[in-house]
Structure 1
Amino acid sequence: MKLLPPFFLILFVVLFFNFANAQTAGGKISGSVLDEVKKPLDGATVILFTAKDSVVTSTQLVKQDGSFAFQNLKSNTYFIKATFMGYKNYRSGLVEVGQQKAVNLPAFVLSPAGKTLNEVSVTAQKSFVQQKVDRTVVNVGALISNTGANALEVLAKSPGVQVDADGNITFKGKSGVMVMIDDKPTYLSAANLATYLRSLPSSSLDQIELMDNPPAKYDAAGNAGVINIKTKKNSVKGFNAVASANIAQGFYGRTSESLNFNYRVDKVNLFANLSYDYQKTFRRLEIDRNYFDANGVQTSSLADISYFRPTNHNTNVKVGMDYYMSPKTTWGVVFTGNWSPEHDSSPVFSMLYGQDGQLDSTINTLNTSKSKFSSKGVNLNYTHKYDSTGRVFSFDLDYIRDISNGEQEFVNNTYLPDGTLTNSQTITDNLPSTINIYSAKADYTHPLRGKAKFEAGVKSSYVNTDNAANYFNLVDGVSTIDYNNTNRFLYKENINAAYINFNKTLGRFDIQTGLRLENTNGTGHQLGNAQKPDSSFVNHYTNLFPTAYLSYKLDTAGHNVLVASYGRRIGRPNYGSLNPFTFFVDKFTYFSGNPFLKPQFTDNYKLAYNYKSLFTLAVSYNLTTDVQNETIHKSGDVFISTTGNIGQQKTLDFSANTNLQPTKWWTVNLYAEVYNNTYEGEFYSGYLHQSQYTFGANGSNQFTLSKTWSAEISGFYNTGGTYGQFVSIPTGMLNAAIQKKILNNKGSIRFNMRDIFHSFSPSGTITNIEGATATYHNFVDTQVATLTFTYSFGKLTNTPSKRDTGGADSEQGRAH
């Protein structure tokens, strides 16, 4: 850690002298690329030609604000060509440049291509991965093996992202990532988030933005950064729709259907995303535990085998309207809904062995459960563009209400080795939960002279949660309240935030700095019962979160770019993690909350080299204090899982990403990383110190076999690593897919085989348990064959996209 500031200082000095030398010669041409309503076309390509012989001198992608600049040009006559998919190409007039002359051109305004699907054959395809200064963009539709998959499965293929058997997400070796949908948080617990992402079909997804160091405009929540899942958006004049249906076979069958449509007439734009998903999956979990006395002598052992067969019926609805009151002013409203009923029968077979290794007893647990989860939300948004320079004001108002209710019955029967029943226990529970979230935010962007931009914003959110746990002991048909576990937990939280952000271009340098202030106020109240008293806690804290990016072009064309960045983030406890309830898995495994959890803070440092957006090398270092992580401790023979603060985590990460096209018909994307996780801190069993290097890689090969046939092979591999107490073993996956376009390219049939060799089997060991050791092994239902039909109808013409971002930027991702 002590070496990092001098390292960045030396880097800055070297870049400064290179910059100073670069300013001594050469002309300059600058300008911007806009659409027909003067909105920046982020990602458009500009190509500089010499007029005499039409030779390409340089090529660039425009920035987010649509601007570009060709620098250090020789005295000559040039012209520029601007291109963007779905728009007509633009060719400038002749431009004379002298040795020290700077030419600022009027904005290039591109017009839509204006052709319908049956008039044009679209052959261009986005790269699977695109690199930007502050994020990595994954284009979901670029991989045909994503067909028929759900959002969680698509995430597992993204660079640096890992998803375990329970659906928990880590990013670049760190947990605590903030998952957002269309710039709004999901407001769900880890379990409910996994269920929700499994219910989102890939056909409704457009892009995934991976931000390990997000700018100040985003909430500071999420110590591992932000993953923003962007759904498909259409604002095409007239009617436009995409319908998709698939049938899949894994351990059990499953189906999903989706319809995304848009209708725009005059000043009104109506849109909707509708999907239904039926899933029945399977997982077998094996846990082996050994128990020891104070002298280290093994006293007993326990072998658990659990079977999970959840059945889900998931319905997702997103309906909205945009009203273009004027060319500069837009009002919008978006309604969202999710309904996910589930039922499961999860038997657990436990075998308890004595000191001599002989079977002592068996415990059969029948765990039957049914639950209902629903989430309803409304967003009102407003945008006003003052002029064509990019001066914009916007605000969002959000309200979200999540309701869940679960019922479980545990029947524990204990038998001697000869089959004699010695004990029977029945426990039932009812677990209702309600979360109300209110959020309001406003943002303002103001361009400044000299290619600079100032941004500022404010936000306030209020969350009110009400969780109850009602447990009963059932004996001879008579139900009595279990006061040891019955409780009710109320939690209220208010977060107030403000930020400023500044961008500036200085020659080959691009600078972005930001500062965010967040004030947090939380109160928790655990209601008592007939046998237990009330308890409560209050938290108030205010923090500053700076961010900084410095990029430098090593050549005049901008093909070689260095980027250094720094950011600080916070990981607030999930609402459910603060809930002190106890939840039963079986007789030997409990989950419980921790009302004394403290927030964790992370400092992120990163240095990256980027070549033509085709090749990226990066090294990053992260230091997290008061790390929140799942912890396992023992009480008698029972393992209790809770979230605790376990000291600090240091992560050193080296990564590389490349997009290659060896031939016209073959495209390759490869990502690889090596990272080291080190955990240190006080723990139940004394002092925890774990450190391990991990290698991870994923890649895809896309093949264009003809105008209507294409294929793909993709996969990932991970050597395993350490995550707090948990040390995982290697795992991986190989996928293949083939696609045929039909009906004049309006339709397609795709066949996808996921996890061909059924090699994805998350397993490992649990360390630092006082008086015990444990290993776990998962058999997961990931080997799935999917057949999908997709049909598109309507126009391809691009028109201004609607704004469907919201103000609830982090709270929902913490709901438990």
Structure 2
Amino acid sequence: MMKPIRLFLLPLFTLLLFNFVQAQTPGARISGFILDDTKKPLDGATVILLAAKDSSVVSTQLVNPDGGFVFKNVKDNTYLIKATYIGYKTYQSIPVIVNQQKPVNLPPFILSLAGKRLNEVAITAKKSYVQQKIDRTVVNVGALISNTGASALEVLAKTPGVQVDAEGNITFKGKSGVMVMIDDKPTYLSAANLATYLRSLPSSSLDQIELMDNPPAKYDAAGNAGVINIKTKKNTTRGFNAVVSANYALGFYGRTDESINMNYRVDKINIFANLAYNKQKTFRRLEIDRDYFDANGDRTSSLKDISYFRPSGNNTNIKAGMDFYSSPKTTWGLVFTGDISRDHDSSPVYSLLYGKSGGLDSTINTLNTSTNKFDSKGINLNYTHKFDSTGRTLTFDLDYIHDAAGSNQLFVNNTFLPDGTLTNSQTLTDNLPSTINIYSAKADYAHPLKGKAKLEAGVKSSYVSTDNAANYFNVVDNVSTIDYNNTNRFLYKENINAGYVNFNKTLGRFSLQTGLRAENTNGSGHQLGNAQKADSSFVKHYTNLFPTAYFSYNLDTAGHNVLVMSYGRRIGRPSYGSLNPFTFFVDKFTYFSGNPFLKSQFTDNYKLAYSFKSLFTVALAYNYTTDVQGETIHNSNNVFISTQGNIGRQKTINLSANSNFQPAKWWSVNLYAEVYKNTYQGAFYTGYLNQSQYTFSGNGNNQFTISKTWSAELSGFYDNGGTYGQFVVLPKGMLNAAIQKKILNNKGTIKLNARDIFHTFRPSGTITNIVGANANFHNFLDTRVATLAFTYSFGKLTNTPQKRDTGGAESEQGRAH
């Protein structure tokens, strides 16, 4: 009943709101556009509304991506409008008269180049760490000194509302299943490969992180916890310019990162490239304690596993492309992306098996050695056409991505008696090749309407094919024989067709945005048989609707106090690897296995938020998810098998607050805190799962301006633990500090950063609801790291309109392998 009621109430609610705002009396507005001398919009320019009488500031805002601006609810008076943009001369209008609340539409303001290079201009303003928008939170990566030398994954771990566990799994506002995108494009990676990629991506290549717990209909509906969009740096300047950076970090082992971001713009051609290379070796110690029980609840044995992980490797990331401005209104773009990773890991596991009386029965030493490679190549063709200055725009993207991965592993298990006598030896090898091909095409159209309204529509189609093989061999006396019990090959194909419409309108103090997205999914999987196992296959076809709605109201005429209500529905499709029924060995007592019967999960998101001048925001959110996907652990003959399963229902209520303030001219602070409760209910291995817990989590950072060339930072986070399906985690936290010095006429920067100073980030907890066993785990991670970094900028620095280098591969990115 809930689904038809929801689909009925949403259009009715939208219609009532629209009629309500139409009935309101609109205030006067002043609107216009800010363009450069080539008639292209200056996205990011600042527009200031001044009272003509005394030049006092009435209101300030940044222009939209199309260069447009609107001052709403303007009282009758005479005004001046000032427009500024770095590298351009300041523009000030002639007096603008507002009379009888009639709207004023101004001709475009044309800003001319200042004729100076950027290094000759003293810039004192800097971006805030966190900025609030109606449908997302924007985090400016470079605003934190401690982000210097960190990886993209480490930057995410410090982002408000985001948590990263020891394996690199990402949760957002207490929920898993978030879709991570790079420049509006999905990564098409499994959770493990995504973590590896983000560890290799240096923070020097990042610009912003967009957090969307309820994305608009334009975005793919995938990701039940919302979307995290990582935006990389994009040069927007004429001539040649570049930024180079290098750093050396020392934790348990040393690691290095180097990158260069280049851009060359001449006439109608813009060429850009971003290259990054890193070499690293890290450390992790994992302890898992298990107790086994009989049917009467009496302990029969216990096991202590101690694993040491020392992965080492190198990674190269490449992003290069070209924009061709065929006319003032039309732009063609071509973007190539590449990722080459090679790593090696020797991870010994020491297992101590104790009997019923607590005495040591035997020890098992496992040598787990693996050599891995991952290569990814992608190409994107994009097109943008602006029909006129009103914002009527057509865009399309064509994408192709090819990923190839491979792993060769060696497992040697030796069992000893307490006196050191060898009783058993087992050797197992495997070869795990994997390929994935992704094709995507999408088109989007935006059409402004009368009365400050806008209609958007778009279509998308994607096709994905994966081929994963697992070749296992038992080795006896140096002779290898096929292990048919674990050897198989899995093929998966998926096609998703989608379309959406989105409407927004502003009238007086009210703003309304509603959208509806439809997605049709067609998937098929085939597990090939072998000499001892038969084939198996499955086919899935389903179509779903995903409505979204936003409603905002300015509590005052200046727009300083704003209320926002929103609703959205999301889907979490299984990752391609989760559907693959492979078995992956960690040691003799721990396996990972796929689940071809895993179902998609669906989430309804409700949110009410209040913000004051983007300086303070408080929000209350409620999320309800069905067929929750999560890691499950079950016990089979004293072997723990981990797989993705549908746990049941999840209810999450979240109260969060974010604040930016400046106690002194030399000191600025950003604080984020949230309290949420996760409740899991549903059928489980042990019967019925009913688990819930309140969690408090907070982030904070302090920025200190010591002088014109010296600055410092103190930041950290704390989490008091919580419940996530079967897992109950203990408190953890981290404190960071950094200091920065500008050199070489402010073109260069030297930074020293210390992360996790007291080494308090040690994720640990308990695994519950295991038949015939219980377990707890403790991690000791290589997170206490000191980094020395150098950055240098050179070349001409005169701003010009920004290129578009994003693509259309969106929802499939976080699901590969």
TM-score using structure 1 length: 0.97
Match in the other structure for 1:437: 438
Query: How far is 1:38 from its partner?
Result: 4.7
Cα distance change, pair 113–141 in 1 and its aligned pair in 2 (3 A): farther
Match of 1:676 in 2: 677
Structure 2: distance between partners of 1:97 and 1:264: 41
Alignment check: 8 A CA contact 2:14 2:514 kept: no
Instruction: Tell me the CA shift for residue 85 of structure 1.
Output: 4.1
In the TM superposition, what is the alpha-carbon distance from 1:455 to its structure 2 partner?
1.0
Shift of residue 551 of structure 1?
Answer: 1.0
Displacement of 1:127: 0.6
List aligned pairs for 1:40-189, cutoff 5 A.
Answer: 40-63=41-64, 65-189=66-190
Give me the whole-angstrom Cα distance separating, in 1, the residues matched to 2:700 and 2:732: 15
The aligned residue for residue 23 of structure 1 is 25
Amino acid at match of 1:680: Q
Cα displacement (A) at 1:450: 1.1
Task: State the partner residue of 1:497.
Answer: 498
- Whether the 8 Å contact between 1:115 and 1:795 is mirrored in structure 2 is no
AA in 1 matched with 2:25: Q
Contact 1:47 1:80 in 2 (8 A): yes
Contact 1:189 1:576 in 2 (8 A): yes
Aligned residue type for 1:774:
A
> What residue is the counterpart of 1:369 in the other structure?
370
The letter of the residue matching 1:23 is T
Separation (CA, whole Å) in 1 of partners of 2:178 and 2:124: 36
1:507 deviates by 1.1
Q: What's the CA shift for 1:810? A: 1.6
What is the identity, as a one-letter code, of the residue corresponding to 1:570? I
Aligned residue for 1:803, secondary structure, equals coil
Indicate conservation of the 8 Å contact 2:43/2:801, yes or no. no
Report matched runs for 1:450-469 at 5 Å.
450-469=451-470
Gaps of 5+ in 2: none
Q: Is the 8 A contact 2:87 2:117 kept in 1?
A: no
Q: Which amino acid aligns with 2:427?
A: T
Q: Secondary structure at the match of 1:176?
A: coil
1:540 aligns with 2:549: no
What is the number of equivalent residue pairs in this alignment? Answer: 814
Aligned to 1:515: 516
Q: What's the CA shift for 1:664?
A: 1.6
Mapped to 1, the partners of 2:14 and 2:662 lie a distance apart of 34
Counterpart AA for 1:133: I
Equivalent residues of 1:492, 1:523 under 8 A apart:
yes
Partner of 1:488: 489
Percent identity, aligned pairs only, is 78
Q: What corresponds to 2:730 in structure 1?
A: 729
| Structure 1 Cα separation of the partners of residues 317 and 61 of structure 2 | 40
Aligned to 2:404: 403
The residue number in structure 2 matching 1:215 is 216
Q: Deviations over 1:359-398 (max 9, x none)?
A: 1111110101101110011111111111111111111111
Alpha-carbon shift at residue 332 of structure 1 (Å): 1.0
1:610-642 Cα offsets, whole Å, 9 max, x none, are 111111111111111000100000101100000
User: Paired residue for 1:244?
Assistant: 245
Partner in structure 2 of residue 792 of structure 1: 793
Residues in 2 aligned to 1:96 and 1:108: alpha-carbon distance in whole angstroms: 17
The residue type equivalent to 2:226 in the other structure is G
Moved more, 451-460 or 578-587: 451-460
**More displaced stretch, 257-266 vs 80-89:** 80-89
Given the superposition, is the C-alpha separation of residues 508 and 746 from structure 1 closer, same or farther in structure 2, using an over 3 Å criterion? same
For 2:762, the equivalent position in structure 1 comes to 761
Determine if contact 2:408/2:432 at 8 Å carries over to the other structure: yes
Contact 2:291 2:774 in 1 (8 A): yes
1:477 aligned partner: 478
Q: Which whole-Å CA distance do the structure 2 matches of 1:67 and 1:480 have between them?
A: 69
Q: What secondary structure does 1:764 align onto?
A: strand
The aligned residue for residue 230 of structure 1 is 231
Deviation at 1:234, TM superposition (A): 1.2
Q: Secondary structure in 2 aligned to 1:191? A: helix
Shift of 1:115: 2.8
1:382 matches 2:386? no
Identify if the C-alpha distance between structure 1 residues 75 and 381 changes in structure 2 by more than 3 Å, giving closer, same or farther: closer
Check 1:589–1:37 CA distance in 2 against 1; reply closer, same or farther (3 A cut).
farther
CA distance in 2, matches of 1:14, 1:511: 11
Give the Cα separation in 2 of the matches to 1:189 and 1:309: 21
| Root mean square deviation, CA, Å | 2.3
Q: Quick one: distance in 2 between partners of 1:415 and 1:445?
A: 70
Counterpart code for 1:262: N
What SS class does the counterpart of residue 432 from structure 2 fall into?
strand
SS in 2 for 1:145: helix
CA offsets, 1:499-551, max 9 Å, x none?
Answer: 11111111111111111111110000000000000000000001111111111
Q: 1:110 to 1:564 in 2, by over 3 A?
A: farther
Match of 2:718 in 1: 717
Q: Which 10-residue stretch deviates more, 477-486 or 105-114?
A: 105-114
Q: Does 1:317 align with 2:318?
A: yes
**What aligned pairs does 1:520-669 form with structure 2 within 5 A after superposition?**
520-669=521-670
Code of the aligned partner of 1:360: D
- Structure 1 Cα separation of the partners of residues 12 and 146 of structure 2: 45
Match of 1:418 in 2: 419
Where do 5+ consecutive residues of structure 1 fail to align?
none
Inter-partner Cα distance in structure 2 for 1:623 and 1:133: 22
Q: Cα–Cα, structure 1 residues 73 and 790, in superposed 2: closer, same or farther, change >3 Å?
A: closer
> How far did residue 10 of structure 1 move?
15
Residues 266-306 of structure 1, C-alpha deviation per residue, up to 9 Å, x if partnerless? 11111100011001000000000011111111111110000
Q: Is the 8 Å Cα contact of residues 604 and 621 (structure 1) preserved in structure 2? A: yes
Asked whether the equivalents of residues 116 and 794 of structure 1 are also in contact (C-alpha less than 8 Å), the reply is no
Distance 2:234 2:431 in 1: 40
Q: Using the TM superposition, name which of 655-664 and 238-247 deviates more.
A: 655-664
- Quickly say closer, same or farther: Cα 1:36–1:782, change in 2 above 3 A: farther
Cα shift at 1:37: 4.8
Give the superposition deviation at 1:498: 0.8
**Contact 1:121/1:745 (8 A) holds in 2:** no
| CA distance in 2: counterparts of 1:682 and 1:505, whole angstroms | 46
Q: Which residue of 2 aligns with 1:329?
A: 330
Q: CA deviation at 1:32?
A: 3.8
Does 2:811 correspond to 1:810? yes
1:112, distance to aligned residue in structure 2 (A): 4.4
- The alpha-carbon deviation at position 101 of structure 1 amounts to 3.0
Structure 1, residues 557-581: CA drift from partner, whole Å, max 9, x if none? 1111111111111110000000001
DSSP-derived class of the 2:356 partner: coil
Q: 1:521–1:14: structure 2 CA closer, same or farther, 3 Å change rule?
A: closer
Q: Bigger CA drift: 98-107 or 59-68? A: 59-68
Q: Deviations over 1:217-252 (max 9, x none)?
A: 111110011111111111311101000011110000
More deviation in 152-161 or 85-94? 85-94
Give the C-alpha shift of residue 106 in structure 1: 2.3
> Aligned partners of 2:763, 2:693: CA distance in 1, in Å?
17
Q: Is residue 293 from structure 1 mapped to residue 321 from structure 2 by the alignment?
A: no
Kept after mapping to 1: 8 A contact 2:73/2:509: no
Determine the structure 1 residue equivalent to 2:256: 255
- CA gap 1:391/1:110 in 2 versus in 1, 3 angstroms: same
Question: SS in structure 1 opposite 2:156?
Answer: helix
Q: Which segment is superposed worse, 270-279 or 33-42?
A: 33-42
**Corresponding residue SS for 1:802:** coil
> Shift in Å at residue 601 of structure 1?
0.5
Residue deviations 1:664-711 (CA, integer Å, cap 9, x gap): 211111111111111111001100111111111111111111111111
Which residue is equivalent to 1:689?
A: 690
Q: 1:469 to 1:792 in 2, by over 3 A?
A: same
Indicate conservation of the 8 Å contact 2:86/2:799, yes or no: no
Deviations 1:29-60 (A, max 9, x none): 33344444555555544332221222223334
Whole-angstrom distance in 1 between the partners of 2:499 and 2:107: 35
- 1:497 and 1:21 map into 2 onto residues whose CA distance is 35
